[in-house]
Copies of this chain bind each other. A is one copy, B any other.
Amino acid sequence: MIEREHFFESGADEAIVAEAYQAIVEEAEGDEVGYYHLPDDQALVSRIEAFVLERDLARESLENVVVLGIGGSSLGTKAIDTLLALTHHRDESRLRRRNDKNLIFLENVDPNEIEENLKGVRVENSIFIVISKSGGTIETTSSLKYLLGRFEIGFDDARFRDSFVVVTDEHSPLDRMAQEYGVKAFHIPANVGGRFSVLSSVGLLPLCILGYDIGELLKGAKELKESFFAKKEDALIQKAYFYASRKEQIPMNVLFSYSSAFKYFNQWYVQLWGESLGKLNLDGEHVGLTPIGLIGSIDQHSFLQLIIEGPKDKSVTMIKVENFENDLKIPNISIPHLEKTDFINNHTFNELINAQCDATMQSILDQGVPVDRIVIDRLSERSVGYLIFYYELLTSLVGYFLHINTYDQPGVELGKEILKKRFTSSI
């Protein structure tokens, strides 16, 4: 399903690999880090599918799935939907297909964007999913208040119970509000952080309403999980060790994904990597690795020059999709004066983009840049679930090697306090 190759020497010996493996085993068995268990929760899949059925959320008259959430509450869902939406619409053989509902995010507090996003959104044709782990995210609560005001919905209103769902930690303020007014709540396990939560109800609920096979997502993740805990993923540990041990010389890790469908997956990776690995370590040092997401072939015309001729301070992971399930072909047309481009005639775009991926990788390798490659046979719930879990595990491993707490984000609290002070002192 997914093949991986590393074109560098990691430098991790057997003892290092064994120790790291053991550390992850202990972390997964402990109480503090919960994301390791998400792939096993087929019971949650059943609960979500039952809820979608019971509320008839697949009905055609429900046109909009509106997610109120930011960061870990939005990026994963957006990533998966964007990875799969076009493939779903192509693949005739698929049993379940994404429906035509709009997936809308009330994410940023940019007023022009909010207004644009809400064009055509009415309470009757929409389901609103309010997602906040802590329950008090200022962007999300502001959007919620705005919707309540805009649609003149009171907390006791039946429209509130019928058209709103919350996804939050149990006993959070948002959860208590939901309980009080009879709004359906799904809970995020307390030990699953926002950026590791896409395979919880945070991602599964909206994706299920859109028609995706969320059970398959978990199965894909579980495939990698089981392989790892069966000690078959030494290469993953070696890759993590390489990144962590070369953090001074190679502070940036580029993900170069050859399909426009990875646009938001790249952003999800940027959050996961940046927020998890940028930390004060146990010795009080500032450590971290900077994630960079690129799209091929577009960024061959943008960032590639810097990789090739700039400082050798980046690693590169190429992602290639073997089969786009789309046979659009470049016809056998010779454009007068442009006959030199005829070498591409009669080839498919699928062939072209993949040959570009290979050629670019070769040109980067030739510069001595550390490269690895992930080849996905086709984009499906299963391969995407696998890929998600691959990056989560990789992040945990790098965090282990960096001696940091991979799962918190203390650095962003100061800004929130300054914000609150600014408003409360000005009132």
Give A contacts to B, CB under 8 Å.
70-72, 75, 86-87, 89-90, 107-116, 135-136, 138-139, 141-142, 144-146, 148-149, 155, 173-174, 176-177, 180-181, 194, 251-252, 259-261, 267, 270-271, 274-275, 277-280, 286-288, 290, 292, 295-298, 300-314, 324-331, 333, 335-338, 340-341, 343-345, 347-350, 352-353, 355-356, 358-360, 362-363, 366, 409-412, 414-416, 418-420, 422-424, 427
Q: What's the Cα separation between A252 and B303 when bound, in Å?
A: 13
Assembly CA distance A127 to B416 (angstroms) = 48
Contacts of A335 in B (CB 8 A): 141, 144-145, 155, 177
Min CB distance A117 to B, Å, is 10
| A415 contact set on B, CB distance < 8 A | 300, 304, 356, 359-360, 362-363
- Do A142 and B109 contact each other (CB < 8 Å), given the known contacts A176-B337, A310-B278, A415-B359? no
B174 and A338 contacting across the interface, CB-CB below 8 Å: yes
**Contacting pair A90 B112 (CB below 8 A):** yes
Which residue of B108, B302, B355 contacts A419 across the interface (Cβ within 8 Å)? B355
- Select A308's contact among B139, B173, B411, beta carbons within 8 Å: B411
In the complex the two chains form, is A336's CB within 8 Å of B180's CB? yes
Determine the residue in chain B with the shortest Cβ distance to A86. B112
- Whether the Cβ atoms of B308 and A412 lie closer than 8 Å is yes
User: How long is the Cα–Cα vector from A225 to B306 in the complex, in angstroms?
Assistant: 27
B residues within 8 A CB of A303?
Answer: 270-271, 274-275
Minimum Cβ distance to chain B for residue A106 (Å): 11
Whether the pair B326, A271 counts as a contact (CB closer than 8 A) is no
User: Is there an interface contact between B341 and A138, defined as CB atoms closer than 8 Å?
Assistant: yes
Residue ID in chain B nearest A279 by CB atoms? B309
CA distance A138 to B115 in the complex (A): 39
List 10 additional contacts besides A275-B301, A278-B306; criterion CB under 8 Å. Answer: A111-B349, A113-B260, A180-B337, A251-B311, A278-B305, A279-B305, A279-B310, A280-B309, A290-B313, A366-B414
- Distance in angstroms between the alpha carbons of A336 and B156 in the assembled complex: 12
Chain B residues near A330: list those with CB within 8 A.
Answer: 142, 145-146, 149
CA distance A347 to B426 in the complex (A): 11
Contact status A259-B356, CB under 8 Å: no
**Of B71, B286, B306, which is within 8 A of A301 by CB?**
B71
Contact (A349, B290) CB under 8 Å given A177-B335, A302-B275, A422-B355? no
Instruction: Quote the shortest CB–CB distance from A27 to chain B (angstroms).
Output: 20
CA distance A371 to B124 in the complex (A): 46
In the bound complex, CA of A65 to CA of B352 (Å): 25
Contacting residues, chain B, for A141 (C-beta < 8 A): 335, 338, 341, 344
Complex formed: what's the CA distance from A311 to B410 in Å?
15
In the complex, the 7 A-B pairs of residues with the closest C-beta atoms, listed nearest first: A71-B301, A288-B310, A278-B306, A278-B310, A308-B411, A149-B331, A271-B302
Q: A142-B344, A306-B277 are in contact. Are A336 and B148 (CB under 8 A)?
A: no
Bound form: Cα–Cα A135–B335 in Å: 11
